[in-house]
Amino acid sequence: MRNIQDRHRLWSEHPYFDEETRHELEQITDPREIEDRFYMDLEFGTGGLRGVIAAGTNRMNKYVIRKVTQGLAECVCDHGPEGMKRGVVIAYDSRRYSAEFALEAALVLTKNGVKVYLFDALRPTPELSFAVRQLHALAGIVVTASHNPKAYNGYKVYWDDGGQVPPLKADQILSRIEARENWLGIEPMALEAAKKSGLLEIVGEEIDQTYLARVRELALHPDLDVQKGGDLRIVYTPLHGAGNSLVRRALAELGFGSVTVVPEQELPDPEFTTVPYPNPEIPATFELARKYGLETQADLLLATDPDADRLGVVIRDPQGNYIQLTGNQIGVLLTYYILSQKKALGTLPENATIIKTVASTDLADEVANSFNVRVENVLTGFKFIAEKEKEMEEGDWGTFQFGFEESYGYLAGDFVRDKDGIIASVLLAEAALYYRQLEGLTLLDLLERIYEEFGYYLDDQESLALEGIQGKEEMTRIMDSLRQEEILELNGISIEKVDDYEKRVGKNLITGQTYPLTLPRSNVLRFSFEGGGFVMVRPSGTEPKIKFYFSVKANTLQEAENTLRNLKEEVMHRIAQIRSV
């Protein structure tokens, strides 16, 4: 407790911390609030950090940015003059302090003699990934909290392949951060000095143009897009974020000229005043888009989150109703579209591979297998998809076609190494156009066709917010209890396999045999049902939540809906009992 008090006193009194920070901390009278702000440093995980914007070691602020960036700078300097010259690319989204945090990071890096490419305005996260590769930089930073509530911001680190920083490199950065116990003495370079030295270079439109040219190359039917794209009516909302310019430009350059942008959500707004919070998974984020959809009789509603790495989709059915797709449904539709069209065009390679996460629907596996396409399943988090793509590329044992995760993240192509809402928007629009023009189908019709062929797979999620020290302890208790009890069935459905990624061991409950799991260690439990479907449980790596994933397979939609509802009720009742002990 003394350490907490000492930290609080240092941040409240020392002149290194600005007056705004000291004043904010002086106003806090609740000991629990002080404890929560100072009992730990905001955790730097495998991808970076994320937290509530406020003063304190366990919050997002410029002093935390300085300390983390200093650790990154030292790792870059370990690569000598060549690594320092290759430098770091920095992008940011529309959140509070995003631009200020990005500049703070840039000036700490330049103070260490590291070259920095700083975007001239907000940009999508996937463009940051592209820019790292395009500029042959050693690393990248994007300041964003993605789809989290407005109180949050974050800091994600990328390495030279454009993917999120790999675990070994993340550990090296973390060790540098932890080695510096003193919060004082990290002084950024003066802005004008950084510019004058040539270490700080502002980039923008030249990267946009090159990126958009690569996006256009992903179109499978560019002639159809040019000739008929204007007939597809689209409503798009960037949800006050960074996707506005590039999504619109990408669609327009391919021929999709009938795009209405939701005006109330077009411009950056760190308060996200028009939505509960800016997550395209949530139906409420489409409320305004639906209004403009009805006015324009739009066929398709698209929404990207604040850093435009996620895409949400709503389709108009023949009766004029707007139906929102789940992340898994979007992933399956894009998987089917890409593989079927490439096969028809004769461009599907023999070693074609898709990559998805273990939390995503097994329906995609069935679709891919029907085209004799290999499926690689990886841990939850898009960085694992990017790492597997890199592994395939370097080992020359597969050709990446598409990757997705159920949380609305999708990727095609080889020039970005993270989920990309711009690429997904273009491919989804083209798929909608293709099936309407050539087969007279909506994407909902196509989804029904896929269900009829492979079975009705439905999925859902639940999350429990468990914050602070007590929350972490409760998450541990839940995971320990689920590990210790041998669960043979859920909702009357027999469990075939239990995979424990923390222990890296799986067990077939029918044969009693155990088998090794080759994916990296992670606190994840996956219960796979006989005949298809699963329940998966994992504490979030970026938020104070424990997440539950549900997937069921049935012969009819009604049966699948009933099974899913009952399964969720039983599992969450079981979790409530564990918490009550």
Tell me the pLDDT tens digit for each residue of 140-178.
999 999 988 999 999 999 999 999 998 889 999 999 999
* Residues assigned a catalytic role: 146
What is the per-residue pLDDT for 471? 86
pTM of the model: 0.95
Residues in the chain: 581
What is the per-residue pLDDT for 581? 78
Burial class (CB in 10 A: 0-12, 13-18, 19+), 506: middle
- Mean pLDDT value across the chain: 95
What is the per-residue pLDDT for 2? 65
Decide: helix, strand or coil at residue 330: helix
What is the per-residue pLDDT for 469? 80
**CA 500 – CA 507 distance, rounded (Å):** 8
- Helix (DSSP H) and strand (DSSP E) numbers for the chain: 20, 23
By the 8 A CB rule, do 96 and 53 touch? yes
DSSP string for 368-404: HHHTT-EEEEE-SSHHHHHHHHHHHHHHTS-EEEEEE
Q: Which residues of the chain have pLDDT under 50?
A: none
Copy the structure tokens of residue 552. Answer: 């069921």
What is the per-residue pLDDT for 137? 98
What is each CA distance from 19 to 12, 14, 16, 25, 29, in whole angstroms? Answer: 9, 10, 9, 10, 18
Q: Which domains, ranges and CATH numbers included, belong to the chain? A: 1-32 (no CATH), 40-126+133-189 (3.40.120.10), 210-325 (3.40.120.10), 329-422+443-453 (3.40.120.10), 456-580 (3.30.310.50)
DSSP string for 338-372: HHHHHHHHT---TTEEEEEETTS-THHHHHHHHTT
What is the per-residue pLDDT for 1? 53
- Name 153's bridge partners: 51
